[in-house]
Structure 1
């Protein structure tokens, strides 16, 4: 991306951040519906993922689900303007919080907040940093300018942004110092430090980093999910109870538990999970690719 393209993107995001949330959300939804009518690589990926994970659904049902997903994905990109440039007060007014733990407990044990790639994960992570000091793991983008922008805006309320490839030693040190760490491990980042475990019955290459970091940092693992509320009412951040007996002595068992928990949440609002990601990019030895 050249300098002019980057400047235009920033200008667009700043302009959208000045509009009411409802207007931005409706514009994004309309854009997603229009994009779904066009043939695209991402549309193909979404439909492959949905067919694998929901084999009992008809093609008509899958098409409706995929279209609604495109609406949410396009919304999430435009709503990022408000999330990146809106004030802490405006963000707080858009998010309902339901937490099973005390988010202000100064005596809390080392904690990993485990998120998942629903379309509203961004606002959930940013909101955390308005409530308590936290570190957040991120994956570096190929575009340096956009990556630096995302890192800066995601961390503007004090979150310490840590690249995923950072030494585990640093992350463990943060956990043991009492600073919570936010991360998500539900994408296919390659076979290194991963295991193949079922995801909706399909072998999925799943990271084992949550188990290893929790074990080394003697940390509890607390799942959280951010959902988009209906009727353009904003978002809801749900923070769950810490996972029992986690980590175990088996990374594979822990990865399967993580996927099983995620499945229960996806079934509540399947159109909001990030199906545009190639979740089954890597396959077990001997199995053909699906995309």
Structure 2
């Protein structure tokens, strides 16, 4: 059954890659709205996250935001079709890029591109990798075949895909050799290698890997965000200026800086952040579980 499920997934993604983007996006919106009406653990997680981060919103406002988010999430799953199997020309047509830094500067210092889990993160990374050399860290999935498929297709334009558990020395060697490294550090992967830093005033278990790798590799940290544009116009990848005074001698302070930047971006399009993740799964000692 697992093998059959894999081939069905593969066939569906290839089919979706051949359909018009707007049609797939509309289908994702409709399916997401239908699924939202069904009680589910994921909907519960979204609403808990929104209550924690936006306590001043009314319950109705949070419900509307949760609905819009689930529509974006389902859309992002269907849009994997053209992201993984569509042509480079299709991706270039759908994704615009705005960079505040010179991406072709031959004298640029080692660079960590720090991403965040907005629903469009994948397609932004793929566009960048089609234009410039980059290595990208990824987290292994439980399904081995799907994980290998994702790794292969995400790297099909030349990105070197490195498992997150790889040695820090490997990442540092890449940075020092001039290869930028893309990673995202805004998910709760447990308390090991993490500190608690506020996200909208809520203690969030935040990875310190960005800070540590920046120190070891002498790297600047450049945030990037991919947003879904309205009216089915595609996406926009924005590469920001490097974080100022980062890293410092304090991993806790660096985590606060990362989360503060993330807050500014969530407020721009709150329905696109990955609220289905249990961002507050781990809690400081003495604080009750929220999910």
Q: Do Structure 1 and Structure 2 share a fold, with TM-score over 0.5?
A: yes
Aligned length: 291
Structure 1 residue 108 displacement after superposition:
1.4
Matches within 5 A, 1:162-241: 162-241=162-241
* Matched residue, 1:68: 68
Deviates more, 1:124-133 or 1:69-78: 124-133
SS of residue in 2 equivalent to 1:248: coil
Structure 1 residue 107 displacement after superposition:
2.3
Question: 2:127 & 2:137 partners in 1: Cα distance?
Answer: 15
Q: Structure 1 residue runs of 4+, over 2 Å off? A: none
Structure 1 residue 104 displacement after superposition:
1.9
* Matched residue, 2:246: 246
Summarize deviations over 1:30-49 as a string: whole Å, max 9, x none: 11000000000000000000
Structure 1 residue 285 displacement after superposition:
0.6
Structure 1 residues without counterparts, runs of 5 or longer: none
* Matched residue, 1:80: 80
Structure 1 residue 225 displacement after superposition:
0.2
Question: 2:139 & 2:272 partners in 1: Cα distance?
Answer: 21
Structure 1 residue 193 displacement after superposition:
0.6
* Matched residue, 1:109: 109
Structure 1 residue 106 displacement after superposition:
2.5
Question: 1:192 & 1:4 partners in 2: Cα distance?
Answer: 37
Q: With structure 2 as the length reference, what TM-score do the two structures score?
A: 0.99
Question: 1:184 & 1:34 partners in 2: Cα distance?
Answer: 30
SS of residue in 2 equivalent to 1:98: strand
Summarize deviations over 1:118-157 as a string: whole Å, max 9, x none: 0000001111110101000000000001100000000000
**2:1 is equivalent to residue 23 of structure 1:** no
Summarize deviations over 1:188-244 as a string: whole Å, max 9, x none: 000001000100000010000000000000000000000000000000000000111
SS of residue in 2 equivalent to 1:178: coil
Structure 1 residue 75 displacement after superposition:
0.2
Structure 1 residue 105 displacement after superposition:
1.9
Question: 2:84 & 2:102 partners in 1: Cα distance?
Answer: 26
Q: With structure 1 as the length reference, what TM-score do the two structures score?
A: 0.99
Summarize deviations over 1:27-72 as a string: whole Å, max 9, x none: 0111100000000000000000000000000000000000000000
Structure 2 residues without counterparts, runs of 5 or longer: none
SS of residue in 2 equivalent to 1:246: coil
**2:83 is equivalent to residue 89 of structure 1:** no
Question: 1:133 & 1:226 partners in 2: Cα distance?
Answer: 19
Question: 1:151 & 1:222 partners in 2: Cα distance?
Answer: 23
SS of residue in 2 equivalent to 1:221: strand
SS of residue in 1 equivalent to 2:189: coil
**2:267 is equivalent to residue 270 of structure 1:** no
**2:7 is equivalent to residue 7 of structure 1:** yes
Matches within 5 A, 1:35-54: 35-54=35-54
**2:198 is equivalent to residue 160 of structure 1:** no
Question: 2:106 & 2:267 partners in 1: Cα distance?
Answer: 34
Question: 1:85 & 1:210 partners in 2: Cα distance?
Answer: 30
